[in-house]
């Protein structure tokens, strides 16, 4: 039963990290976008939260993607007086997304995802080895 529990925990981590990578990718895709209309706000960076869940059948604590929050930090301003969405001072608002931070977060999520895959692989190998031992 412990093998199944470890696989379930790792699988929940896979789902959570996949959701995190999806949100980070959205942030990166919108990093250089502008507001959709004059006077509107540009894309606002999204932040992922995680929550703990309990699988009563396995008696295991799992991780799940929690709420998606928006980053309330200030937008980046660039002085571009010729831009169609420039304000009266010639400044254009760009998203509060720092591509370097997003790439770092993406790499961290990717490594966590890979670690969960390794846990599942190791558990499968242990189950297979246990079956082989029981057969002999």
Residue-wise pLDDT for 51-65, tens only, equals: 999 999 889 999 999
User: Is the pTM for the entire model greater than 0.85?
Assistant: yes
CB atoms closer than 10 angstroms to residue 114: 12
Residue 53 forms beta bridges with which residues? Answer: 62
| Torsion sign over Cα 132, 134, 135, 136 | positive
Per-domain residue ranges of the chain: 2-135
Q: How far apart are the first and last CA of the chain?
A: 21
Question: What are the structure tokens assigned to 49, written together?
Answer: 């939260």
Structure confidence at residue 88 (pLDDT): 87
Backbone angles phi, psi at 78, to 5 degrees: -125, 140
Strands (E), the chain: 46-55, 60-70, 76-79, 91-94
Q: For 8-58, how does the pLDDT look when each residue is reduced to its tens digit (9 = 90+)?
A: 999 999 999 999 999 999 999 999 999 877 778 999 999 999 999 999 988
């Amino acid at each position: 039963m412990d093998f199944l529990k470890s696989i379930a925990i790792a699988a929940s981590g896979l789902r959570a990290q996949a959701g995190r990578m999806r949100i980070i990718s959205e942030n990166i895709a919108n990093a250089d976008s502008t507001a959709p209309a004059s006077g509107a706000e540009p894309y606002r960076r999204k932040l992922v939260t995680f929550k703990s869940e309990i699988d009563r059948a396995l008696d295991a604590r799992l991780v799940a993607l929690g709420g998606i929050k928006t980053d309330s930090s200030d937008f980046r301003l660039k002085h571009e007086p010729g831009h169609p969405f420039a304000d009266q001072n010639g400044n254009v608002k760009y998203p509060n997304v720092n591509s370097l931070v997003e790439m770092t977060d993406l790499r961290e999520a990717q490594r966590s995802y890979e670690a969960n895959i390794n846990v599942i692989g190791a558990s499968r190998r242990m189950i297979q080895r246990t079956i082989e031992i029981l057969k002999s």
